[in-house]
Structure formats: structure tokens, C-alpha cells
A and B are shown apart, each in its own frame.
Chain A
Amino acid sequence: MSKTALVTGASKGIGLETVRRLATSDLNITTIVLMARASQDYDDNFAELQKDIPEGVTLVRETVDVGDRDVLIEAIHRVYAQVGRIHYLINNAGYTNPVAIHQVEFDDFERTMAVNVYAPFTLVQELLHLGNKFKVIVNIASTAGINGRAGWLTYSASKAAVINMSEVMRDELKIYGTRVVCLSPGRTATALRRVLAPEEDPTTIMQPQHVAKVIETMLGSTGQYIDQQNVIVRQ
């Protein structure tokens, strides 16, 4: 039976590479919903992606800021009405503005929580309320959520929340046979990483394709043997 995947933060980085991999995986995914904010990157990369994907795979492009809960809920309902059951949900969208505690603006902390924590929660809860039965949910956390880092208060706190939220989801959604995977990538060459470490040479660290490959593995049958805890992905 053909499957549907939904990937947030799909305009670039890990999200984009995940869409690319899933389109050619042996998971029988024939519909992939992409969620991301409007951007030139999104336009360019989506156009590129359309050329690459094999015949028989449909990409559904949803332009939405997942950090805006009301707008996100509308998008979820629209997508569900259009594509029906979402088998695989990859909560990948992330936001950070790393500053020291004295400089944290509360609005920015709320924005971080909205994108990194409330958005994955809202996607899961709204789809459950709609009667969706997930096969696998992947929440992208971070090694920064395992150990707090000076200067990354809001990001570390939000990713720690993702790790713990994933554990609760794993336990509660067991009644549906849903697997909940929590991945914590270390340094990965993404736009978000450039914000966290602007001086770093991105060619020396893990690439988004590597994480996307792990996500593909976790969605497949091998994933069920290694999904019981937060999985660290590191080069």
C-alpha cells in the first residue's frame, strides 16, 4: 500500500535531503508533503526537487510558518483533507537565535519554543484528533538538548523538551503501534548550524544527506530495533 510522508522544514538542509531520500526509498512513499516558510530557497529547491523525483511520487508543497500555531492548524487540516492518512511524520523544522541569558528576549524564546516544540506537538495532536494513525514519527532534537551549552539557552531548552516529549509520545502512542523516533544530530552543515557556529567550515562536519539517510533507515524495518531511545547521530 502506498504511503504518505510529511516533512517540516523541507525547504533546505536536513528536511530537503530527507524529502529527496524518501522519494527514492523502498518505503513505497508515493506522496510527500513539504512544509516550510516562504523563501527563495524554498522556491528554488522545490523546482529542483520536482525535476529529480521519480515518476509516481507526488510532492505537495505547503507554504506555512510552523511557528504560527493558528496558521499551522489550518495547514494541517488542509493537508489532511487533500492527502488523507499521514504514515510518516518528520518533525524537522528548527529555529535558533543563540544569545547569552542576559540577552535573551522573551519573544525570541517563545519563537524558539513555538517552532521547535509546539509545532511538532501541534502536528501530532491535530492529526491524532483527525483520526490519523501514524506509522512512524521522527522528531529531530539535537545533542544540544542532551547537554546545555553556554550561549544556547533557548535552543538547548527547546531540544531537551523535544527529547522528553518524544519519550512520552513513544509511550502513549504505543496503543496505535506507532513508533516514535527521536534523533539528535550533532554538528550538521545546515543554515541553522551557521547561526550557531558562523566561523566553522561546513565541509568539515556532518552533511544533511547523512542525517537524511539515518532518518530513512529509522523509518524502515531496521529502525524498529534501535528506536527505543534518543538516537545520537554524529560524525
Chain B
Amino acid sequence: MISLLLLNGGIGARAKTAGPKQFVKINGVPILVYSLKEADEVEAITEIVVNYPAGHLDTVEQLVRDYAIATPVKFVEAGTTRQESVAKLLDAADNDTVMIHESARPLVTAQDFAALANSEHANVGFMREISFTVAPVDPDTQRVTGSLERARLRNVQLPQKFAAADLRKGHEFAIAEGRTFTEDATMCADAGIDVFFIEGDESNLKVTTPGDVRLATHLFRTRGEDDE
């Protein structure tokens, strides 16, 4: 039995949308619906804990009702940082195993969630090889400070699965070290916890810009059509 922690509290600064980005529409349907609906089909997910940006609880509750999500859903107000939001979602979760996903990745599938659920590893997430070179730099002086070996780097995607106790340890580590992480796999790894990856799909993109909205809409509309 798994609790899905569904991040949905970010404000769409980069997507340049009028409202919070989780209400951006992909193919005319609010972006949050895609993740809710796919998770709803996964038997192992027995609880969804979703967060909402302050002032938008009603909208999220209404979406859950309108789309007849059958899995029990809990609603938690978003934190001020992503890390805090995950911690708050984790606190509200009832199961010993959790998955983290974000509504900004609407092309996730029920099979993705199921693949994580069935993984032998307790802590595991989707990651992709990167097709570009990442340079470590000093942003202040604009000096390139060295090199990173691309073959040993991965683009971190979601969803991820964690043992709730391990994820909690990861967050305690971050607080103790006074560090802020942008995601949880590397946080847990830095905390000395074993985390593994499985190969993700390139279509599971994160929607952050208006161009991403168009791309995700196109990918969704043409999913399963191979005649081009």
C-alpha cells in the first residue's frame, strides 16, 4: 500500500500563466487531472496526498470531485519551498511506502507508477540520460570551474518511490545540514541512503513554459498514433 505525494503547489512564474500553473490546461483539461487519473488506476496506490497553493483548496477539491477520483485524497497546503511541501505531504501520509510526483508532469502513466511499485528497490525513481553537457561554473565571475562526466549524470524525473522512513531521514539530514535540495533522490543519496534509478521516458516532460504546454498537448493528442 502506497501513498502518492502529489506536488501541486507551485506558482507558475516560468509558465507565465495567469493563475497557478497546476491549473494550466493540457488539451483543454486541467494539468492536475492527468496525474490524479493515472494514479487512480494503480491498485497499489491506496491514498493520494495532494497539496494546493494557498487560497486554491476549493479548486483542487472540485477537480477531485468532478473527475470522480475513487482513491481517497487528502489535501495539504503547500509549503514555502518544494522541500517543505514534500515534508508536509509526507507528514500527512498514512502508508510506509510513498511515491512523489508532480502535477507538472502530466504525461506520466499508470504503468510508470506500477513499475515503481513493483521495483525491488525501496528507494527508486525515473531518470534519463542527458544529451547535453553540464558545466560547473561560478555564477558570480562567470568562470567555468571544471568538467562533469556526462555518462555519470542523469536528468532526475518523477515519479519516485521511497520508504517513508528513509525519506524522513533524508529531510532530517537536509535540515541538520542547513541545506535545501530541489528534489529528494539526491537528498537521500547525500544522506547516505541507497537510492536507485530506472530508465525514464523522454515524453514524461516537466511542463514549465508556454512552449512545454504546447508540446505536452501535442504529445498527448498524438499518443499511440504512429502514422507520421
In whole angstroms, how far apart are the Cα atoms of A177 and B215 in the complex? Answer: 21
| Contact assessment for A172 and B29 in the assembled complex, using a CB-CB cutoff below 8 Å | yes
Q: Is the CB of A130 within 8 A of B68?
A: yes
Give every chain A residue within 8 A of B28 (Cβ-Cβ).
Answer: 168, 171-172
Q: Which residue of B lies closest to A128 (CB)?
A: B68
> Contact between B221 and A175 (Cβ–Cβ < 8 Å)?
no
The smallest C-beta distance from B164 to any residue of chain A, in angstroms, reads 29
Q: Mark A162-175, 1 if CB is under 8 A from B, else 0.
A: 00000010011011
Q: Is B34 an interface residue (CB 8 A)?
A: yes
Instruction: Give per-residue flags for B97-109: 1 if the beta carbon is below 8 A from chain A beta carbons, else 0.
Output: 0000000000000
Which residues of A are at the interface with B, using a C-beta cutoff of 8 A?
128-132, 168, 171-172, 174-176
- Minimum CB–CB distance from A177 to chain B (whole Å) comes to 10
A sample of 15 more A-B contacts (CB under 8 A), given A129-B66, A130-B68, is A128-B67, A128-B68, A131-B68, A131-B70, A132-B68, A168-B28, A171-B28, A171-B221, A172-B27, A174-B221, A175-B29, A175-B33, A175-B34, A175-B37, A176-B37
With a cutoff of 8 Å between Cβ atoms, the chain B residues found around residue A175 in the complex are: 29, 33-34, 37
Q: Which 5 A-B pairs have the closest CB atoms?
A: A131-B68, A175-B37, A129-B68, A131-B70, A172-B29
List which B58-84 residues lie within 8 A (CB) of chain A: 65-68, 70
Identify which of A129, A131, A171, A176 contacts B27 (C-beta below 8 A): A171
Grouping DSSP codes into helix (H, G, I), strand (E, B) and loop, the A interface class, with mixed when no group exceeds half, is helix
- B interface residues (Cβ-Cβ under 8 A, vs A): 27-29, 33-34, 37, 65-68, 70, 220-221
Chain B residue at minimal CB-CB distance from A175: B37
Expressed in whole angstroms, the Cα–Cα distance for A174 and B220 within the complex equals 9
Sample (11) of A-B pairs whose CB atoms are under 8 Å apart: A129-B68, A131-B68, A131-B70, A168-B28, A171-B27, A174-B220, A174-B221, A175-B29, A175-B34, A175-B37, A176-B37
Which residue of chain A has the shortest Cβ distance to B34 in the bound complex? A175
In the complex, what residues of A have CB within 8 A of residue B65's CB? 129
Q: Which residues of B contact A129 (CB under 8 A)?
A: 65-66, 68
B67 CB contacts on chain A under 8 angstroms:
128
Q: How far is the CA of A132 from the CA of B67 in the complex (A)?
A: 10
A132 to B70, CA, bound (A): 11
Q: Would you give the shortest CB distance from B69 to chain A, in whole angstroms?
A: 8
A176 and B66 alpha carbons, distance in the complex (Å): 14
Minimum CB–CB distance for A122 against chain B, Å: 14
A-side contacts of B34, CB under 8 Å: 175
Give A131's nearest chain B residue, CB to CB. Answer: B68
Instruction: Report Cα–Cα, A129/B70, bound state, in Å.
Output: 11
Instruction: For residue A167, give the distance in angstroms from its CB to the closest CB of chain B.
Output: 11
Instruction: Look across to chain B and name the residue whose beta carbon is closest to the beta carbon of A129.
Output: B68
Please name all residues of chain A whose beta carbon is closer than 8 Å to the beta carbon of B68 when the two chains form the complex: 128-132
Give the residues in chain A near B70, CB-CB below 8 Å.
131
Cα separation A64 to B221 with both chains bound (whole Å): 37
Complex: A122 Cα to B131 Cα, angstroms: 48
Question: CA A175 – CA B217 in complex, angstroms?
Answer: 12
Chain B residues with CB under 8 A of A174: 27, 220-221
Cα separation A132 to B33 with both chains bound (whole Å):
16
Cα A25 to Cα B86 with chains together (Å) = 52
